[in-house]
Amino acid sequence: MMRNLCVRVLALSAAIGMCCAVAAAQITIPTVPIGNPGNAPDPLTGNLYGSVTYSYNIGSTEVTNAQYAAFLNAKAKSDPFGLYNGNGTSTGMASSFGGITRSGSPGSYTYSTIAGRENNPVNFVSFWDACRFANWLHNGQGNGDTETGAYTLTPGGISANTIIRNAGWKWAVTSEDEWYKAAYHQPASAGGDSDNYWLFPTSSNSVPSASQVNYYNVIGNTALVGSYAANYYGTFDMGGNLWEWNEAVIGGSRRGLRGGGFSSGSVVVAADFRDSISPAVEVTSTPDLGFRVSQAIGLPSCPADYNGSGDAGDILDFLDFIDDFSACEQQSPPCGQFGNPDINGDTFVDILDFLDFIEAFSAGC
C-alpha cells in the first residue's frame, strides 16, 4: 500500500511537470473499423490483393493539412528530414494545391494552415514523410520519435528501399491489401457483388460520376476530405482527390500508389489499376500525392483515456493506470484491472510504459 501511494505521488509530480513542457496539441485521426478478417483476395487481380487476415482501423479520410501541420509544428522546427515541401507558389505545400505555410528560420520554424484548406488532404508528401508521420502517431505524438516505431528508418534502409512495418505497430501507412480491402471489398452476404469486390471504390461496378469522385480535373484541385459519399466500410475519397501511398515495394526501387488523383480518369481509380513511384518523390507532373493511415485494433486512440470512460486525462484515468502499473510492472499482458498498462504495445510492462502514459496524460489527448 505504501509503495502504491509513493508511486502515485511521484507520478503526479511528473505529470504536473510535464504539463508545463508539452506544448503541441494532440490530433485525432478519425478511423473506421475494417472487419471480416481472413477474407479471400479479389479474383479480378488473380487473387493477389485485398486479403487481410486481421481486423484493423483505417483513416476514414486522407491525412489533412491541419493534421500534418500539427505534426510539423511538433517535429520540424529545424526540419532535418525535409518533412515540409516548400518548392514555391506553383508546387509545394504553400501553393494553391497545398495548404500549409512555413514561417521563421531553422530551429524556430512554425507552420500554419491556409484558410479554407485546413481539411483538404495534405499534398506533396513522400512515402518517407508518411512513414515518419505514422511513427509519430505510434509514439504518442508530441515529442514522439519519427525514426522508430512502426518503421525503423535508417539511411541504408531508405536508400535500399527495404524498410518494412515492424511487429507491434500501432499506426502505419496502409499496406496495399489494407487499402484495397477498405476501398473495394464488400461481402456478397452484406449486399456486395457476387465475388465480394466492387470494381470502383464507390461500392459499385459502374463508372463513378463527377458527383461521386473528384477526378477528370472537374474541380482542378483537391476537395475537402469527405466531400463525397462514403463506401461500404465508411471510407471517403479512395478514388480521386489524391493518389495515396501504400507500403508495397514494386520493382525493388518504388512504392505503391492507389486510387488516382483529381486529374485522373476512371481507368486508374478502378480496382485493377495499381501504380508506383520512387518513395522519395513529393511532386509529380500532376501535384497529387497524399496518404492515409491504418491503426492496429485493440489499442486506445488516446492512452490518457486509460479506463475507456471517454473522458481522457481525468484523475480517474491517472489513478487507475497507477494501480494497474504497480500491480503489473515487469509482467506481460494480459494484466490490469482497469485497462492495459502495456501502453507502448511491446508486450512487457515497464518504465517506458509509465513514461508514455505520463506524456499522454499531460497532453490530455
Grid coordinates belonging to 319 = 489513478
The string of pLDDT tens digits covering residues 80-97 is: 999 999 986 678 999 999
* pLDDT for res 14: 47
Tell me the per-residue pLDDT of 214-262, one tens digit each, with 9 for 90 and over. Answer: 999 999 999 999 999 999 999 999 999 999 999 999 999 999 999 999 9
Residues of the chain with pLDDT under 50: 1-23
Q: How far is CA 39 from the centre of its chain?
A: 23
DSSP letter at 189 equals G
Cα dihedral 242, 248, 254, 257, rounded to 10, equals -20
| Cα 226 to Cα 135: distance, rounded to the nearest angstrom | 25
For residue 172, report the phi and psi dihedrals to the nearest 5 degrees: -155, 160
E strands along 106-251, which residues?
110-113, 171-173, 243-250
The pLDDT, as a whole number, for residue 363 is 75
- Residue 10 CA from chain centroid, whole number: 33
Distance CA 119, CA 223 (A): 9
- Cis upstream peptide for 334 (omega within 30°): yes
Contact 338, 306 (CB under 8 A): yes
Q: Tell the CATH topology of 28-301.
A: paralog of FGE (formylglycine-generating enzyme) (3.90.1580)
CA pair distance 153, 133, nearest whole angstrom: 12
Written as one string, the DSSP assignment of 145-163 is: -SSSSSS---HHHHHHT--
* Residue ranges, CATH 3.90.1580.10, the chain: 28-301
**Residues listed for the chain:** 365
What one-character DSSP code corresponds to residue 190? Answer: G
Which amino acid is it at 229?
A
The pLDDT assigned to 323 comes to 86
